[in-house]
Structure formats: structure tokens, C-alpha cells
Amino acid sequence: MHSLSKLFLAALSLTTLAGAHQQSRAHSRHRTTVRRQSTNKIYKIQDLYQGEDFFNDWNYFTGSDPTGGNVNYLSKSDAQSKGLAYVNDCDNSTVLAVDSTSTVAAGGKRDSVRITSQKSYNGGLFVIDASNMPVGCSTWPSFWTVGPNWPSAGEIDIIEGVNDQTTNQMTLHSGTSQSCTIGKSNSSTDQFTGQVLGTSCYSTENADAGCSVEDTDTSSFGYGFNNADGGVFALLWDNSTGMSMWHFARADIPADLTAQMPNPSTWGTPAGFWSSQSCDISANFYDHQMVVDTTICGNWAGGSAYSSSGCPGKCTDMVANATNYVDAQWVINYIAVFQ
Ligand SMILES: *[C@@H]1O[C@H](CO)[C@@H](O)[C@H](O)[C@H]1NC(C)=O
Ligand SMILES: *[C@@H]1O[C@H](CO)[C@@H](O)[C@H](O)[C@H]1NC(C)=O
Ligand SMILES: *[C@@H]1O[C@H](CO)[C@@H](O)[C@H](O)[C@H]1NC(C)=O
Ligand SMILES: *[C@@H]1O[C@H](CO)[C@@H](O)[C@H](O)[C@H]1NC(C)=O
């Protein structure tokens, strides 16, 4: 759904994107069991993004929203001067907010923030600890990673959803090799707890739904996440094993992660798992930068998902009213990469 390349974005057909996402959600849901090999390894911290680092180590995307949202993505200096990107003195958390004070015309654009890590990665354990995510009708928050020349170097959506969605949707978008699906073998005791929405990860401008797994835990997204004081999401990207994703409610965060000595093989069944046996990980995913953003309406939140979510009126009218965005903010305790 997302892309880093502004050139590519300009050429992208937004209507086909919207169609693809709806297609993904229309897939029948079923529980899947796959083999998951454990790599018994204690990961070491490589990069900790916390406090003022968010303002030094991330770039601010200022192009028009590639997903057609009703947002103006602000530069670093504008985001800071308008109070939409700051560090809380009391707890060192980083806030990335949607403007919740200005009146905007219906169908207009509201200020928001989209940041991209300057560093890129080729594997490891990616962790975000947040106490709040943007919520409510018309919002579309996401924490994801993406490589160059989308979709050839792939995309990994770790946190994503729209409107009043109650559970998190995790998605891989694979590039040109096409050998990437969610495996369906029953052969191991290892499982993942989420529900498969689409099995083919291959994505193009015309068919970019990717392979999604929806978390079953209502503390994994939206108001449920925020009411639980948030929690942690982790992506373990291991070329030889596959991609695993976990969500932990705050009370369930593994002690080894809190101690910055995580051993994910002790963490239990992940919410989502994409096995290297059914997906050529190293061919499809490389040189990924991390992205945190919030858009409004756009292809997914503003499409048929808007009315089907039970949200009132039209999405593009929602944007006019500042009070709809009081809770549309990320409050991030830290983002860390371990290797
Ligand atoms: C905020 O986080 C940074 C990075 O971990 C750390 O260096 C700094 O000491 C923290 N500040 C406070 C007030 O805790
Ligand atoms: C996996 O196990 C379930 C339940 O035992 C069964 O219904 C299903 O057919 C199995 N799938 C495969 C691919 O073996
Ligand atoms: C994973 O594969 C990518 C792409 O081929 C490669 O650049 C990277 O070094 C591999 N990562 C590890 C940890 O081997
Ligand atoms: C703005 O939104 C709030 C909350 O949804 C609602 O109570 C209020 O009536 C709206 N105001 C206008 C002018 O639409």
C-alpha cells in the first residue's frame, strides 16, 4: 500500500490500490498452521530511537500522500513549530500528531507527520513500544518498513488499520520474484494466532493487497490498544526462517525484551508468521527503512471501508472537524532495532 519513492508514487494508480486492499479483506478467513523454526539467539541492541533521536535520525516526508489521503505531511521544522512532533518531558516519549486544533474545509487537507528512518536494514528484530496510536473514523495509522523501488524490495506492514478497526492487520508485500506466499503446512506444532486474509504476497501497482494476517486480540489496535496503555509490536526478520510478528499487551511484554536482551524463541506463538519455506525472504526484502505515519481517508480509510466500519457521513467531511483528531496521535516510548 505504501511506497517510499515519490516518482513511483506519482505514477501509481490510486483507484487500483484501493481495489486491491478491499480484495484482501474479502478473502475468506481461516486459521493456518505452519512450521516455525526457532532461532535460539539473544539479540543485541543496534539502534535505539527514543527522545530527541526521533528528530535527528528520521527524515520527514513532505510529498503528497501516495495513498491519496487528506493530509499535508509537514517538514521537521513545521511539525515541531506547530506542536505535531515533540518529546514529552515527563516520560521521554515521542509524540507524532495530527493537527487537532485547526478548522479545515470539508475535503481539504489536515496537517500530519510521516517519518522515515535514515538508516536501512536487512534483517533483525524491530520493536516499537507505544502507549497510544491514532484512532477514530477517517484515521489510517501505520508502522511499516519498505525497500527501494517499490515493490521490488518489498514492504512489511507491522501495524496498520483504518477507522474503528479493532484488530491489527499485518501484511507482507513481496517484489518481483513472486515466490512468496503464506505457507499452509500443518506439519509442526508451531502456529500463528492471527487469521489469514490473503495468501499471495506478490504486489504490483495493479494488485498490491499483499498477504495479510489479522490479529485476533482487540488490544492490538485502535481504542483497545490505547485503553490498555498500548504495548509492543515486534517483527523478527530472519532470512533463513521467515518473518514473525508479535503483539504484546503492556502487562505481557517479555522481561528479556525490557532488559534489552531479547530471545524471541522464548516468546511463544507469534500473531503472524511468513515462513521462508514458502517465501524467498532475502530475494524479496532488502534495504528497508522504517516508516511511521498517519493519514486521513485516502484509498483504504476513505474507501468502502469507511461506511462499512459504521463511521458517520462521508470521510472527507470528517477531516473538517478538528475535534475528530484529538486522539489521532502516536505516543512512542521507543523504537529499537536488535541484531
Ligand atoms: C531519553 O531517551 C534518551 C535515549 O534513550 C536518553 O539518552 C535520555 O537520557 C532520555 N531522557 C530522559 C529524561 O529520560
Ligand atoms: C490442517 O489441520 C486442520 C485441523 O486438523 C485440517 O482441517 C486441515 O485440513 C489441515 N490442513 C492441511 C493443509 O493439512
Ligand atoms: C538477508 O538478505 C539480504 C538480501 O539478500 C542481505 O542483504 C542480508 O545481508 C541478509 N541478512 C542476513 C542477516 O544475512
Ligand atoms: C465535530 O465532531 C464532534 C465529535 O465527532 C461533534 O460532536 C461535533 O458536533 C462536530 N462539529 C461540527 C461542527 O461538525
Distance from Cα 286 to the centre of ligand 3, integer Å: 7
Question: Is 154 a member of any domain?
Answer: yes
Assigned C-alpha cell, 89: 518531558
Cβ neighbours of residue 292 closer than 8 Å, sequence gap 6 or more: 96, 114, 115, 142, 143, 330, 332, 335
> Cα-flanking dihedrals φ and ψ of residue 288, to 5°?
-90, 135
Distance from Cα 320 to the centre of ligand 4, integer Å: 9
Question: Is 309 a member of any domain?
Answer: yes
Buried b (16+ CB within 10 A) or exposed e, 309-338: bebeeebbebbbeeebbebbbbbbbbbbbb
Distance CA 278, CA 275 (A): 6
Question: Is 39 a member of any domain?
Answer: yes
- Rg of the chain in Å (alpha carbons): 18
Query: Which of 48, 55, 92 most suits a substitution to test ligand 1, by most atoms within 8 Å of the C-beta?
Result: 92
Full residue range of the structural domain in which residue 149 is found: 13-338
Residues within a 6 A CB radius of ligand 4: 321, 323-324
Cβ neighbours of residue 67 closer than 8 Å, sequence gap 6 or more: 1, 2, 14, 17, 140, 295, 298, 299, 300
Give tens-digit pLDDT for 276-327.
Answer: 989 999 999 999 999 999 999 999 999 999 999 999 999 999 999 999 999 9
Give tens-digit pLDDT for 71-112.
Answer: 999 999 999 999 999 999 999 999 999 999 999 999 999 999
How many domains does the chain fold into? Answer: 1
Start-to-end CA span in the chain (Å): 27
Name which residue sits closest to atom 6 of ligand 2, judged by CA.
186
Query: Which residues in the chain land under pLDDT 50?
Result: 1-35, 187, 189
Contact predicate 175/5, CB 8 Å: no
Q: What CATH number is associated with residue 135? A: 2.60.120.200
Name which residue sits closest to atom 2 of ligand 3, judged by CA.
282
Name which residue sits closest to atom 14 of ligand 2, judged by CA.
186
Question: Is 289 a member of any domain?
Answer: yes
Whether residue 87 has its Cβ less than 6 Å from ligand 1: no
Contact predicate 275/34, CB 8 Å: yes
Whether residue 39 has its Cβ less than 6 Å from ligand 1: no
Question: Is 6 a member of any domain?
Answer: no
pLDDT at 33: 40
Question: Is 48 a member of any domain?
Answer: yes
